[in-house]
Amino acid sequence: MKVFLSSDMEGTAGVVAWEQCVGESLEAQGGRRLLLDEVNAAIEGAVAGGADEVVVNDSHSTMRNLPPNELAAQASYISGAHKPLYMMQGLDDSYDAVFFVSYHGSIGAPAGLSHTYNPQAITEVRLNGAITGEAGINALVAAHHGVPVVLVTGDRLACSETAGLLKGVREAVVKEPVSRMAAHSLHPGRACALIREMAEDAVRATPGIDPPDFGPTPTLDVSLRTSDIAEAATWVRGVERSGDRAITISDPDPLVVFRSFASAVLLTRTVAEMM
């Protein structure tokens, strides 16, 4: 049993501010320690459930947030920025299951630090008409490779958004949103215990969970902050303008949809930062 673990950060219990998520301050160091403990809990649960290999893709910010020598069960580690498949780098059809750890709600959701990839550019994303965050977008890669997404951890909104799109996924809700900058978190020890338990259950249940199925032509409809950002996004193959501040990406292959979306996010980042 081979498990792919994509770790973000904003969904970690006790993390409620951007200062905990970026930089080298004491707060940021503390945030990374909380994240490490939750990632390790997921790894330990996966192994207890029967996994014999876990690969961790560090998917937050600079993508080098975890000390490799402190990862549990000698999990291997994909880190560093500018990975071609970003938060899903490394996933292929050799895997049996996907974990999303410390995920957050979509942009606009009343949840802690909610955003969708680039909050300076994106104001909403819909997958086949349903609002989605990063979990749904990333699940396009899992769909291409035929690998089920079996676990999501994070705040309640992140988990409910994911479960609404992906049937059979186990949820480990480690905090309740109060606002975008406040949450009621489980004690870190209890959060890790819950993640460990749900990860073990998810791996044991994997044979009965189907890969994501987004129909014959998966479609992303993306709303953007400005018309200039929308125009720049159309420079990416497969991206069509659908409104003054909107684009659509559609293709029979979900990996093509994901790649076009990720390329548009990267290309528009410079335009968005100029606004």
Over residues 212-253, the pLDDT tens digits come to 999 999 999 999 999 999 999 999 999 999 999 999 999 999
User: Please, are residues 230 and 247 in contact by the beta-carbon 8 Å criterion?
Assistant: yes
Range of the domain at 88: 2-115+133-208
Q: What is the pLDDT of residue 45?
A: 98
How confident is the model at residue 274, as a pLDDT?
65
Half-sphere exposure in the Cβ direction for 163 (13 Å, CA): 16
Residue 262 lies in a domain: no
Within-domain flag for 214: no
pLDDT score at 113: 96
- Asked if residue 227 is part of any domain, the answer here is no
CATH number assigned to the domain comprising residue 102: 3.40.50.10780
Any domain includes 199: yes
Segment 112-148, tens digit of pLDDT: 899 999 999 999 999 999 999 999 999 999 999 999 9
pLDDT at 32: 97
Number of domains in the chain: 1
- Tens digits of residue pLDDT in 151-197: 999 999 999 999 999 999 999 999 999 999 999 999 999 999 999 99
Residue 78 lies in a domain: yes
Q: What confidence tier does 275 reach under pLDDT thresholds 50, 70, 90?
A: low
How crowded is residue 274: how many other Cβ atoms within 10 Å of its Cβ?
9
Find the mean pLDDT for residues 94-104. Answer: 98
Mean pLDDT in the chain?
96
**CB 272 within 8 Å of CB 118:** yes
pLDDT at 267: 87
Residue 153 lies in a domain: yes
Please indicate, yes or no, if residue 148 is contained in any of the structural domains: yes
pLDDT at residue 268 in the model: 86
Q: Has residue 104 been placed in a domain?
A: yes
